[in-house]
Structure 1
Amino acid sequence: MSNINLIIPERAANIGNFLVGRLLPFRQKRMLGPFIFIDHMGPVQLSKREHFDVLPHPHIGLSTLTYLFEGSIMHRDSIGNAVEIKPGAVNWMTAGKGVVHSERTPDYLRKTNQELHGLQIWVALPKEKELIEPSFTHINKEELPTWQDKNIHYKLIAGEAFGKQSPVPVHSKLYMLELKCSNAQEVTLGEQLYGEVGLYILQGGIKTENQHFGEKQLLIAKDTKLCSFTMEADSVVYLFGGEAFEEERFIDWNFVSSSKARIEEAIKKWKAQDFPKIEGETEFVPYPDRKL
């Protein structure tokens, strides 16, 4: 019996000035554990006349996780943070009751050609934490737990797994893992993971149950404890998952909540520009009057 419950391909989505590959939400799988949104950005080549400029926009009810493979982004938010993220580091912003942030090419790079490549992720907050105060944490790449097992290099980007814990201050039981290998290697996860789990193939491919799967696919497992596969040489995969919430989550534009009324309130508030401001920013993204 196959342990693969669902195969989600990347689908092109427009985020303003370029296309991304969207993995979640998917019509047959709205969430994966507490993960509610996963975008694969790039790789995109930006000339010195092109910039990554995501104007100030709001969030409620979630945490954002930005993880880059290439390039650099300057994060600014209404809490007062201005932090540049580079490859291998983690930007973790918890919106809680409401926050505004922008993401742009840093000023010192705006006259050079750039490559941008990475993952942008939203993690829904537990119901009892949806209205907490907003916060922001930057974790340097050297702070993330890494280890080697056979031919696999592991990195725990967020959460808890394999008896280790990432310093990223998550709010529920979850994990995000990076696995890299130079030679083909069988991987059996067994009791190391919990809840729901998805495997995203960034590079290379995997074989499982006499089937081959290539890049830009997210595989959802039926049973975490039966999760085993063979990574092909020079492959990079990511494991996302954790314990699912009991309550449904609603999503509209950049807003996530267990309450539709709270989302409607946030929409009205953003249209009235009653969210907190980012120092030095005057532009903003208007509410698009459409569902995500």
Structure 2
Amino acid sequence: KAFGANSPVTMVSPWFYAEVTAQAGTTVPLDPDHEERAIYLVDGEIEIARERYEGPRLLIFRPGDAITVRVVKPTRMMFLGGDALEGPRHIWWNFVSSSKERIEQAKQDWKTGRFAAVPSEHEFIPLPE
């Protein structure tokens, strides 16, 4: 759900992901109703609260902050966010889980080739040290 439009797809929790393209001089609000919100600035230049940002860049915002994006140069960006997930999340390399043990298992699965191959990749990428 974003900009007054609703997807017909049923989701486990409320979230949004929308491509926004805009020309210089345009302003675009970022909906404050979602607890977690971010903008991935693909390319272009924007201004938020008198701070300028150029793509590529990921901007993450505090819950409830009123955010208005002013477009400085023609821009393509992704607005995304939704409800916060329950409990902590752990991140290591390309692995994200609510369980540290699951991340350890994923490391072993990667090392031993139990993950499906990445499409169009022929080189094995080892785990970082």
Give the TM-score normalised by structure 1.
0.36
Q: How much does 1:252 deviate?
A: 2.8
d(CA) in 2 for partners of 1:214 and 1:189? 17
Superposed counterparts of 1:87-236, under 5 Å:
160-166=1-7, 171-191=12-32, 193-224=33-64, 226-236=66-76
Q: How much does 1:286 deviate?
A: 5.3
Kindly tell me: are residues 227 and 268 of structure 1, through their superposed partners in 2, closer, same or farther at Cα, counting changes over 3 Å?
A: same
Gaps of 5+ in 2: none
- What is aligned with 1:263? 103
Output the amino acid matched with 1:255: F
Output the amino acid matched with 1:178: E
Kindly tell me: are residues 287 and 224 of structure 1, through their superposed partners in 2, closer, same or farther at Cα, counting changes over 3 Å?
A: same
Kindly tell me: are residues 212 and 270 of structure 1, through their superposed partners in 2, closer, same or farther at Cα, counting changes over 3 Å?
A: closer
d(CA) in 2 for partners of 1:185 and 1:194? 22
Q: For each residue in 1:35-86, what CA deviation from the matched residue of structure 2 results, as whole angstroms up to 9, or x when unmatched?
A: xxxxxxxxxxxxxxxxxxxxxxxxxxxxxxxxxxxxxxxxxxxxxxxxxxxx
d(CA) in 1 for partners of 2:77 and 2:59? 11
- Greater relative contact order: 1 or 2 (C-alpha under 8 angstroms, separation 6 or more)? 2
Q: How much does 1:224 deviate?
A: 4.1
Q: How much does 1:264 deviate?
A: 1.9
Kindly tell me: are residues 285 and 194 of structure 1, through their superposed partners in 2, closer, same or farther at Cα, counting changes over 3 Å?
A: same
**How many residue pairs were aligned?**
126
Contact map agreement 1:201 1:217 (CA 8 A) in 2: yes
Identity of aligned residues (%): 29
Output the amino acid matched with 1:245: L
Contact map agreement 2:107 2:127 (CA 8 A) in 1: no
Kindly tell me: are residues 163 and 225 of structure 1, through their superposed partners in 2, closer, same or farther at Cα, counting changes over 3 Å?
A: farther
d(CA) in 2 for partners of 1:217 and 1:277? 30
d(CA) in 1 for partners of 2:128 and 2:40? 31
- What is aligned with 2:79? 239
What's the RMSD between the two structures over aligned residues? Answer: 3.1
Kindly tell me: are residues 162 and 276 of structure 1, through their superposed partners in 2, closer, same or farther at Cα, counting changes over 3 Å?
A: same
1:250 partnered with 2:103: no
Contact map agreement 1:189 1:225 (CA 8 A) in 2: no
Contact map agreement 2:23 2:71 (CA 8 A) in 1: no
Q: How much does 1:226 deviate?
A: 0.7
Kindly tell me: are residues 223 and 183 of structure 1, through their superposed partners in 2, closer, same or farther at Cα, counting changes over 3 Å?
A: same
Contact map agreement 2:46 2:73 (CA 8 A) in 1: no
Output the amino acid matched with 1:188: P
Superposed counterparts of 1:16-27, under 5 Å:
none
Query: Relative to total residues, which structure has the larger strand share, 1 or 2?
Result: 1
